[in-house]
């Protein structure tokens, strides 16, 4: 919260920009660069998308979502590192296993997975979004196997395997003493109570949702730009802050049509609390790649996929040129802004010279 509070204020220092064409001045304070700050993710998203654009294949892309049931989400809230990591591993292994099964697709697929821990009202709702190409490479590497036009993998089969993998490994974490439970869940420290708590979800259907394929590569990038670097709430959803609290827009998924869009007002402390429950543990990776897109084999796998699809490789653009501190153009004339002065933390820039005073001194 300190990082977000100080973001783009004099507390972090900054610089003065001037337009090369009209000379208009503008003060720009430094960003906090915290990955949870809503204001600092624009440049990071642009750089990340520039890198991912070269990974796109000329096939349909599917959007798959794996969600944890509420009984498990409560445990995840107190064990973010262990359980969120398990969510990634169980969901990705489920997709790779079912896709490799000859009864379904029979191919090695690629996955880009993004962790979200929030619902629209900023409540705790851990789930993983996946972007998956509509097909994969045959096990022997001889051909590309396309999925059906509007169908990737059966969601009920995915849900059953996901449930089995996740619960078996969650129990293993508990047996190894790697889960901390406290407060209202303190009684789950006992193995018997822990198994009793999980008993209802063993027979419950775990939600795996698969959307129809995107309209094209541009739609994939548009989706990724909205989801990869967003945390809890975007500034565009904020409506007002006053003595009543913070007012923002959210979606009530229990309603349909125009009634789905709702407005909520929370006391300031409750709004901050809801935001902070989505801060990830230090060093935790919320964007991960699997299968054909895994880091160690990504280039070779994508090259083989393009060869099998008979498409040319994209030009090898230098994405290192994407600026970390993108500067908007001049508001007066649209010209390019350049830095003419920098100032340190808790300092203010020098004001422009007072030309009228200078002229008075020179007057006879």
Which band of pLDDT confidence, cut at 50, 70 and 90, is reported for residue 31?
Answer: confident
Q: Say yes or no to pLDDT of 15 above 80.
A: yes
Task: Determine the Cα–Cα distance for residues 134 and 166; give it in Å rounded to an integer.
Answer: 25
Q: Which whole number is the average pLDDT over 136-164?
A: 93
Task: Determine the Cα–Cα distance for residues 12 and 343; give it in Å rounded to an integer.
Answer: 9
The model's pLDDT over 276-299, given as tens digits with 9 standing for 90+, comes to 999 889 889 989 999 999 987 889
Which one is predicted more confidently, 326 or 227? 227
In sequence order, what are the beta bridge partners of 241?
246
Asked whether 93 and 111 are in contact (CB, 8 A), the reply is no
Which one is predicted more confidently, 272 or 33? 272
Give pLDDT, residue 363. Answer: 46
Give pLDDT, residue 157. Answer: 95
DSSP state at residue 276: H
Q: Say yes or no to pLDDT of 216 above 90.
A: no
Task: Determine the Cα–Cα distance for residues 330 and 338; give it in Å rounded to an integer.
Answer: 10
Give pLDDT, residue 322. Answer: 46
Give pLDDT, residue 313. Answer: 76
Which band of pLDDT confidence, cut at 50, 70 and 90, is reported for residue 357?
Answer: very low
Give pLDDT, residue 360. Answer: 42
Lowest mean pLDDT among 44-53, 104-113, 207-216, 239-248: 44-53
Asked whether 159 and 128 are in contact (CB, 8 A), the reply is no
DSSP state at residue 36: T
Average pLDDT taken over every residue of the chain = 85
Instruction: Of 113, 75, 116, give the one whose Cα is nearest residue 278.
Output: 116
Which one is predicted more confidently, 338 or 99? 99
Instruction: Of 161, 166, 151, 143, give the one whose Cα is nearest residue 95.
Output: 161
> Coil, strand, or helix at residue 177?
coil
Which one is predicted more confidently, 55 or 126? 126
Instruction: Of 324, 349, 350, give the one whose Cα is nearest residue 28.
Output: 349
Q: Which whole number is the average pLDDT over 301-316?
A: 85
Binning the chain into helix, strand and coil, the percentages to the nearest 5 are 40, 20, 40
C-alpha gyration radius of the chain: 25
Kindly write down the DSSP assignment for every residue of 32-95, as one continuous string. ---TT-TTSHHHHHHHHHHHHHTT--SS-EEEEEEE--HHHHHHHHH-HHHHHHHHHHHHHHHH
Give pLDDT, residue 125. Answer: 92
Lowest mean pLDDT among 33-42, 105-114, 171-180: 33-42
Alpha helices per DSSP H over 148-289: 155-175, 191-202, 217-227, 268-276
Q: Which whole number is the average pLDDT over 9-27?
A: 85
First to last CA, the chain: 57
Instruction: Of 193, 179, 204, give the one whose Cα is nearest residue 83.
Output: 179
């Amino acid at each position: 919260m300190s990082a977000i509070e100080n973001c783009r204020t004099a507390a972090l220092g900054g610089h003065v920009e001037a337009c090369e064409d009209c000379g208009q001045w503008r003060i720009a304070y430094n960003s906090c660069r915290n990955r949870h700050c809503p204001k600092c993710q624009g440049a990071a998203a642009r750089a990340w998308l520039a890198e991912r654009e070269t990974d796109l294949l000329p096939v349909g892309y599917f959007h798959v979502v794996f969600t944890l049931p509420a009984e498990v989400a409560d445990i995840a809230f107190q064990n973010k590192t262990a359980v969120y990591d398990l969510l990634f591993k169980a969901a990705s292994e489920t997709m790779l296993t079912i896709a490799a099964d000859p009864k379904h697709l029979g191919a090695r697929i690629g996955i880009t997975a993004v962790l979200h821990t929030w619902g629209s009202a900023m409540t705790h709702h851990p789930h993983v979004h996946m972007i998956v190409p509509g097909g994969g490479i045959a096990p022997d590497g001889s051909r590309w196997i396309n999925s059906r036009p509007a169908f990737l993998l059966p969601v009920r089969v995915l849900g059953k395997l996901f449930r089995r993998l996740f619960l078996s490994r969650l129990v293993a974490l508990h047996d190894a003493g790697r889960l901390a439970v406290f407060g209202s869940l303190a009684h789950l420290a006992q193995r018997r109570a822990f198994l009793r708590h999980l008993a209802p979800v063993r027979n419950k259907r775990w939600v795996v949702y698969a959307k129809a394929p995107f309209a094209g590569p541009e739609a994939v990038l548009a989706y990724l730009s909205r989801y990869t670097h967003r945390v809890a709430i975007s500034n565009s959803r904020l409506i007002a802050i006053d003595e009543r609290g913070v007012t923002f827009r959210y979606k009530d998924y229990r309603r349909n049509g125009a009634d789905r869009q709702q407005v909520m007002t929370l006391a300031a402390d409750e709004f901050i609390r809801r935001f902070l429950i989505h801060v990830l543990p230090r060093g935790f990776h919320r964007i991960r790649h699997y299968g054909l897109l895994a880091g160690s084999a990504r280039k070779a796998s994508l090259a083989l996929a393009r060869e099998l699809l008979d498409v040319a490789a994209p030009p090898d653009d230098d994405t290192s040129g994407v600026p970390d501190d993108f500067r908007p153009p001049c508001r007066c004339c649209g010209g390019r802004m350049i830095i003419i002065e920098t100032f340190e933390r808790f300092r203010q820039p020098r004001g422009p010279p007072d030309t009228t005073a200078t002229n008075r001194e020179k007057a006879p």
